[in-house]
């Protein structure tokens, strides 16, 4: 899959979404003749590392792959992808470390050395950086927060590799959608209860 094709697919998916709601902690930036850019913030659990992302994510998905499950100690990871230049670490970059499964994986996973929280992953095979949805503080997706419409995942990926069934309305791809270089094969919600 060519990166230009992926960008076209991502743009088409999100072109109809409304502008982001802005929390008091978000920053707005207006460029002459262009739409307003909203900067959202997030951080690790202890607050040592802070990150900022510009605008809406290119895509958002729930990943059930075995590597995400083991690295995060969770049944799935909620990822919001951004162009690499649209993610900045203004505080705590020296407090981060990177893990890449002995250099054999397609993702470089960055985390806080102090508390161990995942900060973002560089998805080398897709040419983007993915933040973890629950680490965003503006809009607040953490404690007491609600997932903003622009950040809601659009599908489950690597669902066949997962361990729990999800009964939402989102498509469940055995591996990846065709737009991401997969075969696009979908699985039923109860896949893990019936196998």
User: Could you tell me which residue, 122 or 67, shows the higher pLDDT?
Assistant: 122
What is the pTM (predicted TM-score) of this model? 0.77
Compute the radius of gyration of the chain from its Cα atoms: 17
| Cα–Cα nearest to 81, from 157, 186, 140 | 157
Residue 35 has a pLDDT of 64
Residue 7 has a pLDDT of 44
User: Could you tell me which residue, 125 or 14, shows the higher pLDDT?
Assistant: 125
Residues 124-172 have pLDDT tens digits of 888 999 999 989 988 877 677 788 888 999 999 999 999 999 999 999 9
- CA–CA separation, 63 and 55 (whole Å): 22
């Amino acid at each position: 899959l060519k990166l230009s094709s992926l960008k076209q697919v991502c743009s088409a998916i999100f072109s109809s979404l409304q502008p982001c709601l802005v929390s008091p902690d978000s920053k707005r930036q207006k460029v002459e003749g262009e739409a307003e850019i909203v900067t959202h913030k997030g951080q690790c659990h202890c607050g040592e590392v802070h990150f900022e992302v510009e605008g809406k994510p290119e895509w958002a998905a729930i990943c059930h792959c075995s590597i995400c499950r083991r690295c995060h100690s969770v049944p799935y990871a909620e990822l919001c992808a951004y162009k690499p230049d649209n993610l900045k670490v203004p505080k705590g970059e020296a407090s981060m470390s990177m893990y890449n499964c002995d250099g054999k994986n397609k993702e470089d996973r960055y985390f806080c050395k102090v508390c161990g929280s995942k900060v973002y992953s560089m998805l080398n095979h897709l040419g983007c950086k993915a933040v973890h949805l629950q680490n965003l503080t503006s809009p607040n997706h953490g404690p007491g927060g609600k997932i903003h419409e622009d950040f809601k995942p659009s599908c489950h990926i690597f669902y066949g590799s997962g361990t729990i069934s999800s009964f939402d309305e989102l498509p469940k791809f055995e591996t990846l959608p065709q737009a991401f270089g997969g075969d696009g094969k979908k699985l039923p919600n109860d896949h893990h209860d019936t196998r």
